[in-house]
Amino acid sequence: MGFSVTITSSIILIVLFTLSTSFMVAIFQNLKEMSAIAEQYVNQEREKLDVALRLEIESLNATSCDFTVKNLGSRTIFFKDHAGFKWNTVIFSYGNSTFWTTYQIEDYTILEVKVSGTSYTFAPESHPYIEAGEEARILFKLPEGAPEIPLGGLASVVFVTYYGVTAKAEAVRTP
């Protein structure tokens, strides 16, 4: 009886040691993965803090809108289309008391890129981004078949960056 108790106790100790080791390895692996996810989240949020934009609507007519987006942060905002991927999106809503409609606009034109507060401009083809202290004038037209922006109607432009940061402005269409 003494020898079988020793063997049984040894087997039980080996099983308990194996189970506890497996459990500890699983805990450490999960902690490592959670730490990597938390670090990635913090880095994404830090990027958002480095992005600051201001948007001003320059002109608004029945079928198009011209606006300026200024980069006040430290991150570069890219505009160039890469194989069908649009870096930024414009969300345009407009209407009056009888209707309201919203469109996601990805087909817009960069009219000019310049240093804010100056007349120094860059060619949008060779400078398809805005650095800190630069601004871009952007024009978009309503999609085919969209109702015209009514006189006296309110229009809202939201510029959404790939960082997840937005800039918004509103205007009223006047004659």
Any idea what the CATH number is for the domain that residue 119 is in? Answer: 2.60.40
Residue 87 confidence (pLDDT): 87
- Averaged confidence pLDDT in the chain: 91
Number of domains comprising the chain = 2
Final residue belonging to a domain, choices 11, 31, 49 = 49
Please tell me whether residues 45 and 58 are part of one structural domain: no
76 and 24 in a common domain:
no
Name 116's Cβ contacts closer than 8 Å, sequence gap at least 6: 70, 133, 134, 135
Higher pLDDT, 113 or 8: 113
- Whole-prediction pTM value? 0.74
Q: pLDDT digit string (tens) for 85-141? A: 778 999 999 999 889 999 999 989 999 999 999 999 999 888 999 999 999 999 999
Domain that holds residue 144: 53-172
pLDDT at 4: 79
| Same domain, yes or no: 28 and 106 | no
Q: What's the rounded Cα separation, in Å, for the pair 92 and 81?
A: 20
